[in-house]
């Protein structure tokens, strides 16, 4: 068996997302399955080294998950040829200098989103990686969620006919930390620390819309700081300076209206934390993180508006679930495997730092629309 060992510098994986989705459910899961098989007798095996600023956290993470290699000295490991790949899951305001340092060291880079706090910095990462000739990618995990893969299948098989509109609802109630502990880090609600739901979620909505519904051409958005005071991890009150809700309409090049409501201040009464309803002439689908329900034209009931009587139609009953006819792996792991194949086999990997910059651009333009109370165009990035 020929094994291609790929050393990966994993910076910032002591955080919740970095630990759970990238280290445990992606890299360690790939190792446990015997690597990424690329032939009958050939595999790719990732070899991680954990990097961070807190030696105690790294040591505990290393012991818990039996990852032998860890260090607080990023510069030393960037100089180590045994690790040709740099992965970044730091908070957004720390990402740009560290990724640029990795690129300057000749490392291939794979980074979380958003890639930067402004479009110019995001494009500087793309240009630096391109000029250095290193391979680069950005995590765009929602494309591999079972629910969205089922939506893609419906598009590919012509289920919708002409696309009419899209409506997405995302979020849940994040406690303010005053009455009970918050379930998200406090920096998320401080603009000065890189927080804000525009940057957090518009980096997702850009690639979701572009890849499923059509290229975004313009938008209008309204933001809010619904909870102006919160408490941090130590219970100390602070003023929230970053947006905790964003309500937006995106228009595609084909003129399709795509609405997305994103909020950390909403209580969930829907099928999932994320639901996306896609209406077409021939049918409608409602997708969550894993499930997808459809109602074709022939199965659509005929409602009659009459507020004076009880409804005669059960609007939740006339839907059919799209079956899971294939096995769906963890969305983060699925993209990691594609990136590892890209590194070793040079297979196509379109989810680059340029795509990451498009997400940053959309967040900036969303904030601009909110501030100026107007529609804004989304120009191409070059």
Task: Identify the CATH number of the domain in which residue 281 sits.
Answer: 3.30.360.10
Model confidence pLDDT, tens digit, residues 25-60 = 999 999 999 999 999 999 999 999 999 999 999 999
Q: Is residue 34 part of a domain?
A: yes
| Dihedral pair phi/psi, residue 101, rounded to 5° | -65, -40
What is the pLDDT, as a whole number, of residue 309? 92
Range of the domain at 304: 142-326+361-376
- Report yes or no on 248 lying in a domain: yes
- Percent of the chain exceeding pLDDT 90 equals 97
How many CA atoms, within 13 angstroms, populate the side-chain half-sphere of residue 119? 17
pLDDT band at 1; cut points 50, 70, 90: confident
Residue 277 in tokens? 């309803």
Is residue 161 located within the same domain as residue 250?
yes
Residues in the chain: 382
> How many distinct structural domains can be found in the chain?
2
Has residue 306 been placed in a domain? yes
My answer on whether 43 and 123 are in the same domain is yes
The answer to whether 260 touches 205, Cβ cutoff 8 Å, is yes
Asked whether residue 356 is assigned to any structural domain, the reply reads no
List, for residues 238-267, the tens digit of each pLDDT value: 999 999 999 999 999 999 999 999 999 999
Tell whether 382 is covered by a domain: no
Asked whether the beta carbons of 9 and 85 are under 8 A apart, the reply is: yes
Q: What is the CATH number of the domain that holds 98?
A: 3.40.50.720
Cα 338 to Cα 331: distance, rounded to the nearest angstrom: 11
Strands of the chain (E only): list them. 2-11, 36-39, 42-51, 70-71, 85-88, 108-111, 136-138, 163-171, 216-224, 229-231, 237-239, 245-252, 257-263, 274-280, 283-287, 292-296, 320-321, 376-377
């Amino acid at each position: 068996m020929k094994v291609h060992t790929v050393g990966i510098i994993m910076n910032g994986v002591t955080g919740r997302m970095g630990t759970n989705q990238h280290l445990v459910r992606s890299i360690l899961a790939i190792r446990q399955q015997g690597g990424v098989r690329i032939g009958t007798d050939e595999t790719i095996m990732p070899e991680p080294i954990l990097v961070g600023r807190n030696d105690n956290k790294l040591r505990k993470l290393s012991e818990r998950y039996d990852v032998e290699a860890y260090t607080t000295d990023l510069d030393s490991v960037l100089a180590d040829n045994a690790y040709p790949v740099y992965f970044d899951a730091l908070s957004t305001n720390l990402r740009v200098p560290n990724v640029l340092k990795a690129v300057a060291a000749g490392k291939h880079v794979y980074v979380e989103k958003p890639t930067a706090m402004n479009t110019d910095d995001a494009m500087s990462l793309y240009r630096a990686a391109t000029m250095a000739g290193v391979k680069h990618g950005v995590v765009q995990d929602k494309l591999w969620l079972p629910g969205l893969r089922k939506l893609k299948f419906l598009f590919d098989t012509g289920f919708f006919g002409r696309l009419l509109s899209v409506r997405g609802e995302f979020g849940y109630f994040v406690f303010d930390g005053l009455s009970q502990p918050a379930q998200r880090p406090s920096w998320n609600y401080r603009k000065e620390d890189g927080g804000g739901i525009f940057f957090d979620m518009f980096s997702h909505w850009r690639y979701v819309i572009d890849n499923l519904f059509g290229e975004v051409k313009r938008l209008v958005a309204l933001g809010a700081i619904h909870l102006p005071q919160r408490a941090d991890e130590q219970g100390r009150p602070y003023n929230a300076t970053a947006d905790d809700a964003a309500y937006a309409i995106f228009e595609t090049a084909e003129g399709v209206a795509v609405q997305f409501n994103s909020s950390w201040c909403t209580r969930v009464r829907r099928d999932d934390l994320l639901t996306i309803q896609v209406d077409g002439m021939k049918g409608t689908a409602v997708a969550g993180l894993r499930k997808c329900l459809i109602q074709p034209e022939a199965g659509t009931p005929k409602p009659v508006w009459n507020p004076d009587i009880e409804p005669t139609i059960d609007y939740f009953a006339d839907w059919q679930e799209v079956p899971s006819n294939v096995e769906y792996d963890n969305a983060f792991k699925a993209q990691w495997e594609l990136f590892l194949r890209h590194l070793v086999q040079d297979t196509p990997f379109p989810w680059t730092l340029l795509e990451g910059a498009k997400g940053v651009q959309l967040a900036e333009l969303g904030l601009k629309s909110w501030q100026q109370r107007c529609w804004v165009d989304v120009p191409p990035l070059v």
